[in-house]
Structure 1
Amino acid sequence: MKIRPILATAVAAAVTMPALLLSVTPAFADDKPTAQTQDKPSIAELEKAAAAATAAYDDAVEAESAAKAALEAALSDTSPLAMAAKAAKAVAVEAATAKTVADQAVLDAQAAVDALAETATEEEKTAAATKLTEAKADAETAAAAKTTADVEAVEALDARDDERVAAARKLDQAQKATKAALADKTAADEALAKAKEEGGDDGEDCVPEADLTTVVTGLPSTVVAGTKVVFNLRVTNGTDKTMDEVLPFAYVHATDRSGLKTIDDLVHLQWSSASSSKWKTVDNKHYMDAISPLKAGTHADIKMRLTIDASAPAGNGVTFVAGDYFNDDGTCGGNPDLEGYEFLIAAAGSKPGKVDDAKPSTTEPNTSDLKAQSGAPARRVSGSLAATGSSSAMSQLALASGAAVAIGGGAVFLVRRRKAGSHA
């Protein structure tokens, strides 16, 4: 069967080219109708993203080469600042020699005065005294010249060294930029290759299914580091057909306040089912055990637990949820969107007081007459990752891109190739 990784390839491309995020994947752009998020990025669009990543990498390699040449030039003895430092040092050496000579002249003149005989004439005494005075004046001038020359030599050496340090730093930055650009290029190439590979399989496509919904309730909009919060994930089959196997998907991603430092290792997500109160960690594919089956018009509830280590800094978090389904007849599909529930992380010991629940979007949920398997009414909601109620589009983009890096492109979208007795 062919798998269509609608959001997987889009997010992978977004990690490579954040600007492309807005043009290729409407689900991550401004708030738009959910139907627009179901369009699969074309091979041509992914090729464009890969080409842009390659161009960015080539530019980074060129910039690194230029930075390396600049450092080599700065380290050369023939660079302007190096030659100026050398000349200033030579002047300082000459000034030091001149001062030594002048100081010796003072000593000699003083010795001549001291050696005058008692029978020396006034003319002889006057001449010796005059010579000593002149020697002392020359020594003072030589000392001042040496001080000036020493200062100028130090300044010239500092200027040369500062240029070399700055050039070394630029090369280090250029090397890091090249490494990052290579990683982005690799991600874009892999996303393109995967799309081509999956698009080339024979068989039936997995399809987006907007009526398979995942809704989080009870997740606070602010969570204090060092605490645990329990909330509910409801998976609803809003279609008129039974889904033989539904795989709930959940992933939590967090950063510090800057949005630049990922702190995923300090946040932990677990789940438990109605049949077992034991907490289980969401697997490395971000899936929970399958719901088999999920009848038409019913829902299933999964208890979730979010734990934030006490060492976590204040920051921002988002819990993504989705669901995939597989039927015994080979049909498959899942959510066309990832629902993102944003929350703030407060520093350990904070007292945020009463806070509202995290919301997936500003879109009002539509009530329906769906009935839960347990007999309770279900609710349908619409929304997308772009509309999570965030006051900062940039932090939303940082969370989305960071999540894409952490999860990996293949784990973001709704469906996986179904294998006998397992899911991937």
Structure 2
Amino acid sequence: MRRRLLHAAAAVAAVTAPALLLASAPALADTLAAPADTAGMQTYAELEQAAADAAQAYEEAVASQKALLDELKALEEDTHPLKAAVLSAQQAVLDAAEEKATADKAVEDARTRLEEAADDAAKAEAQKALDEAEAAAATAAGKKDAADAALEAAQEALTEARIKTARDYELGKKPEEAARQAKEQTAAALAERRECARLTGLTTLAEGLPSRINAGTTTDFTVHIVNGTARTLTVDPLFLITLRATAERDHMKVQWSYGSGWTELDRGNRLETISPVKPGDRRDVKIRLTVDDEATTGAEGIALLAADASDAYNPCLLGPMKSYAFKVAAAGTDTGGVDDAEPGDVPDEDRPRPGDEQPDTSTQGDRETPVDTEGDLAETGASSALRPLALTSLAAAALGTGAVIAVRRRRTSAN
């Protein structure tokens, strides 16, 4: 599962309530199914191998059937060795028949001369010629018999080859069909396993993110990622944090820390994949928001937090996403008594997931304009799926305007 920084450029509108209204992608299901029980289940690697083996077996079955069909056709060609042997034997029979006919005619002529011989000397000479002609005729007859036998053997070999090849071809149809079905079934099972599944027990919650942040200050908070499942997971945190207004985005810097040091959430950086995360484990990621003193008082911000994961059985497991809204307060404002931002739930159908792709648009009223893809939406994480993670349907209702901003990250190279 490849880690990936998701740095998109569109603004995500802030909301007045904890719940975030996201624009849903019509191609997505309304809800994510829970992963199947792993008892007795093949691992994903085993299923991949089974699908590859089934595909290879089908290719071999198809190739075998094609070879048999090609052989059937070739057996009818004069250039095939068996067919060529028949043709040669047929010509040999014709030659032997002609030779025998010539020899038989010579015998008849010799007998006629013997009958017409007038004296003993002539009769003796004619008898000798007849004996020689009969011997030659016997030899020619033997050649003819041998040629006939050779032709019969050649024809039998050709016929047997035709029958065997045709039989093998017919017998190969069922295995080929079985191989095709196995290929389709394992491919379907693999495709189904690749579908993202909802992992309710993989939770992501922020602690210490205030609902109001003073301009000119730095605020640290913690994101707790808890594996409340019975699975050992490889986790890719998915964090999206930004100020709403385009003009405000440059006034907030977002950094993360997991272990030691701080890394800015900017293009080219990634939050580390966390693995293994065993059942019951909690991993904490530190987030630092630095709002400069030029940020506008009342500027609205939003944080979307989730965890994608994978394990030995599923390449794409998606934990529930939480949304947090916060505002920028004037520099020097008393921060005493400021409550933490409350989490809101993001519906399954609106949650970004692997393979999503939507046009970049920002719609207000009836006007639709492209989203600035060079903005400053700070995002971290990568899908645990084999496919690339493209962010889609990230939107919020702007205060009193009905404006909707859709955010999409273009598909990048597959894992």
TM-score tier, shorter chain, comes to 0.3 to 0.5
Larger Rg computed on CA atoms: 2
TM-score normalised by structure 1 residue count: 0.39
- For normalisation by structure 2, the TM-score amounts to 0.39
Higher relative contact order (CA 8 A, sep 6+): 2
